[in-house]
Each structure stands twice: as structure tokens, then as C-alpha cells.
Structure 1
Amino acid sequence: MRLILNIIWLVFGGLWLALGYFVAGVLCCILIITIPFGIAAFRIGLYALWPFGKTVVDKPTSGVGSLIGNVIWLVLCGIWLAIGHVVSAIAMAITIIGIPLALANLKMIPISLMPLGKEIVDVRSTQGSQPGYSA
């Protein structure tokens, strides 16, 4: 099911969203001081290409630097990328088939606004580490 949703996602919006992240990443890498933001944009761009089966978790080692970086990111790129997700979610929610895709778009808004201090991992790798989960 994830494969089918990822293919539909890629065709109907994921490619354009990932392109937006890659453009933001290139712009951030041109300015030397914002290279960490560019790396984060490329990382999220890959997540935007193939989001189903992956999830976002907090990095336990992130600190005040991530918070300051997220505020700068929010002003430079985060708002525009979040607007792209909202517009794409509205367009996808028009059809019944697009509703799971619209929900995935809305799920990606927090990481598009504050990407530093987050990590993108496979869903399977987080299932065993959740409290109360037993296999």
C-alpha cells in the first residue's frame, strides 16, 4: 500500500514539493553561513519525494543551536515551503483518493517549518522503540 501511495504522491505533487526543497537547499548553500539549512532542505526534499513509510522523530542531541537555526529557517524558507504544503493539501483533498495525500502534506508542515533537531527515519525502525509496544 505504501508503494502505491508513494507513486501517486510522486506524480501528483511530491515531485514539485521536493523541487521546492531542492531550490531552497541550493539557495541556502550559495550563502556560506546557511549551509546547514541547505543540508536540511535536501534531506527533507528526499522525504518529500517518498514520504509514506517514513516518519519524523526528535533528535535527542539537539539543543539551543537548533532552536536559533529553526527561527532563521522559518523566516528564510519555512513559511514558503509550508504554504506550498497547504496549497498542495487543499488541491489533493478535492478527490477521495487524494485525502491520504493531503493528510501526508499536512503531516509534513511541522518539519517544513522547523527542520533542525529532527530526524527522518523508517516507520519500521521506530515501532520497537515506542513505549508500550510489544512484538
Structure 2
Amino acid sequence: MKTILNVIWLVLCGLWMAIGYVVAGIICCILIITIPFGIASFRMASYALWPFGRTVVRKPTAGVASTIGNIIWIIVAGLWLAIGHITTGLAMCLTIIGIPLGIASFKMVPVSLLPLGAEIVPTDQQMPGGTPVRM
């Protein structure tokens, strides 16, 4: 079932959202000081392509640097990517078949806003002590 949902997701919105993350990653890598944000953006692009069967786990050891980085990320690209997920989620929820995909898009909003201090892992593997955000 995860494969079917991932293929439908990829065709309807995953490709476009992944392109948004890649563009944000390229922009962040061009601005030398934001290279860590670019790397996080590329990780999220792969998650946006194939989200079902994977989970976002918050790292409990993430410190002040990731909090400051997340604030900068929201200003640089996070807000626009979150708006993209909300818009895509609303469009998906217009049909009965698209409702699960719309809900999945809404669940990606927190990680698009706060990517630093989070890790994307398969759903059968979770970090010890981490708080999972299910897809």
C-alpha cells in the first residue's frame, strides 16, 4: 500500500514539492554561509518525493545552534515551502481519493519549517529517545 500511495504522491505533488526543495537547496548552497540549510533541503527533497514509509524523528540532543538555524531557515525558505505544502494539501483534499495525500502534505509542514534537529528514518526504525512524527 505504501508503494501505491508513494507513486500517486509522486505524480500529483511529490515531484513539484521536491523541485521546490532542490531550488531552495541550490540557493542556500550558493550563499556559502547557508550550506547546512542546503544539505537539509536536499534531504527533505528526497522525503518529499517518497514520504510514505518514512518518519521524521526529532533529535533530543539538538541544541541552540539548530534552533537559531531553524529561525534563519524559516526566513530564507521555510515559510515558502510550508505555504507550498498547505496549498498542495488543500488542492489534494478537494477529491475523496486525495484526502490521505492532503493530510500527508499537511504533516510535512512542521519539518518544512523546522528541518534542523530532525532526521528522516524508515518507519520501522526510530532513534532511541526521539519523538516520531508519523506520515
TM-score normalized by structure 2? 0.93
1:68 partner letter: I
1:51 matched residue in structure 2: 51
C-alpha distance in 1 between matches for 2:100 and 2:5? 8
2:62 aligned counterpart, secondary structure: coil
Cα distance change on mapping 1:119 and 1:32 into 2, 3 Å:
same
- Asked if 1:23 is matched to 2:37, the reply is no
2:77 partner letter: C
2:84 matched residue in structure 1: 84
Q: Between the two structures, name the one with larger relative contact order (CA 8 Å, sep ≥ 6).
A: 2
1:3-44: CA deviation from partner (whole Å, max 9, x where unpaired): 000000000000000000000000000010000000000000
- Residues 59-68 or 111-120, more deviating: 59-68
Correspondences of 1:1-135 after superposition (within 5 Å): 1-126=1-126
Give the deviation of 1:51 after TM superposition.
Answer: 0.2
1:5 partner letter: L
1:71-115: CA deviation from partner (whole Å, max 9, x where unpaired): 000001000000000110011001111011001000000000010
- Residues 102-111 or 118-127, more deviating: 118-127
1:124 aligned counterpart, secondary structure: coil
TM-score normalized by structure 1? 0.93
2:121 aligned counterpart, secondary structure: strand
2:111 partner letter: I
Cα distance change on mapping 1:127 and 1:97 into 2, 3 Å:
farther
- Paired residues in the alignment total 130
More helix by share: 1
Structure (1 or 2) with the larger CA radius of gyration: 1
Give the deviation of 1:125 after TM superposition.
Answer: 1.0
1:125 aligned counterpart, secondary structure: coil
Q: Percent identity over the alignment?
A: 62
What is the alpha-carbon root mean square deviation over aligned residues? Answer: 1.6
Structure 1: which 5+ residue stretches go unaligned?
131-135
Give the deviation of 1:62 after TM superposition.
Answer: 1.1
